[in-house]
Amino acid sequence: MSKAVFIPAPAYKESPVEEMATRAAEFRNMMQNRRTVREFSDRLVPRELIEECLRTAGTAPNGANMQPWHFVVVNDPAMKHEIRIAAEKEESEFYRHKAPPEWLDALAPLGTNEDKPFLDIAPYPIEVLALKEGRKLRPLGE
């Protein structure tokens, strides 16, 4: 087994502690304002914006720097509908057999259920696939 060669982070510049503390607090405040969206728009988003976001997501650090994920942007209506059918089947199983009562109680005020019409409506649903069991692609979380 060969010895790993470590490459220093390019152009790394350590910031002063005060600046790091300010940036960390700003980031936490921004993250505390995020919310789950339960309504979806059919408004198109420029494909270039989607691609740029996915390029960023694909660089997330991970074990052995393998990036074991693939992103699939779906815009074919028939494929989006197939994904919806599969998602609703899985969600139905969750709501009817897998979710503990306290989880269902917490979800009840939100009105969520297995119906996922937004998967037909969204201009670009993004499927996240992970490499598991060698090189076989599987939906993330499976």
How high does pLDDT run on average in the chain? 86
Residue range of the domain that includes 93: 17-139
In a domain, 79, yes or no: yes
pTM comes to: 0.68
In a domain, 8, yes or no: no
In a domain, 107, yes or no: yes
pLDDT by residue (tens digit) across 78-95? 999 999 999 999 999 999
CATH assignment at residue 52: 3.40.109.10
Confidence of residue 135 (pLDDT cuts 50, 70, 90): low
What's the confidence (pLDDT) of residue 1? Answer: 59
What's the confidence (pLDDT) of residue 139? Answer: 56
Total domains, the chain: 1
Is a pLDDT exceeding 60 seen at residue 142? no
Strand order in the sheet with 69-73: 69-73, 126-132, 136-139
In a domain, 9, yes or no: no
In a domain, 6, yes or no: no
In a domain, 38, yes or no: yes
User: What percent of the chain is helix, strand and coil (3-state, nearest 5)?
Assistant: 45, 10, 40
pLDDT by residue (tens digit) across 31-85? 999 887 777 788 988 999 999 999 998 888 877 777 788 899 999 999 999 999 9
In a domain, 2, yes or no: no
In a domain, 35, yes or no: yes
User: If 0-12 CB within 10 Å is exposed, 13-18 middle and 19+ buried, where does residue 35 land?
Assistant: exposed
